[in-house]
Every structure is written in structure tokens, then in C-alpha cells.
Amino acid sequence: MDKNLVNNSCEACREDAPILSESEINNLMDQVPSWCVIEEAESKKLVCSFAFINYKDSVNFANKIASLAEEEDHHPEILLEWGKVTVSWWSHKIKGLHKNDFICAAKTDKLFS
């Protein structure tokens, strides 16, 4: 696996896949510094908000994320607002963070840049 997250693809996540440790999370955060880890309903999530100058640009970005999600077969929560899109990645099956979440966060950043 390439150390640069954006060059990787998601792997199928099984219910018995290991949740990332705090140390692993901290190491991967270096590649997605604009994201934060939040704990919600006993599950850690990667969350980031992206700002836009209008609603149309927000919608276009949300659609790009939806396409990414289909390509990776890994689906985030997307909150679409006027001038802002907030994205949350986590692995539903394991109720926590997996390397897939960091791969998709890195690819989301690339879509934004």
C-alpha cells in the first residue's frame, strides 16, 4: 500500500476489520490536517467543512463527493448548505475509523483543491 493516502483505493470493510488505534489515527492525520476526529454515538468520525462562494458550487462539490463514494464503494454523510459542505467519513460496519476513511478524506481534499 502506498504511503500517500490519495494513491490508494478502499478495501472491502468487514465487520471484523480492526478499528484504527489512537496511534494509527494520529499518524494518518498528518495527511489530512484540515480534518478533525469527533466522537458521536460511540463512533469516531473524520469531519471537515468546505467553504464555497455560492450554493451551486456547494452542490457541485457534493456531487463530486457522491461520485467518489460510488467509485470507492465507501459512503459518507454529506451536509449541504449554502456556501458550505460538511463531510463525515467513518466505517459503519465497525462503528469507527478504518484506513478507508482516511483514503477518502485525502481524496475529498484533492477534489476540493
Q: Domain range spanning residue 29?
A: 20-112
pLDDT at 6: 86
How many domains, the chain?
Answer: 1
In the prediction, which pLDDT does 92 show? 86
Query: Which CATH number does the domain housing residue 85 bear?
Result: 3.30.1360.20
Q: Which helix (H) or strand (E) holds 46?
A: strand 43-51
Task: Please tell me the predicted confidence (pLDDT) of residue 1.
Answer: 58
pLDDT by residue for the chain (113 residues), tens only, comes to: 567 898 888 887 788 888 999 999 999 999 999 999 999 888 999 999 999 999 999 999 999 999 999 999 999 999 999 999 999 999 988 989 999 999 999 999 999 98
Q: Is residue 96 part of a domain?
A: yes
Whether 79 is covered by a domain: the verdict is yes
**Contact status, residue 22 vs residue 44, Cβ threshold 8 Å:** no
Dihedral Cα 55, 59, 60, 66, nearest 10 deg = 160
pLDDT at 2: 62
In a domain, 37, yes or no: yes
Residue 50 belongs to what H/E stretch?
A: strand 43-51
Residue 44 φ then ψ, to 5°: -80, 140
Q: Is 82 inside any structural domain?
A: yes
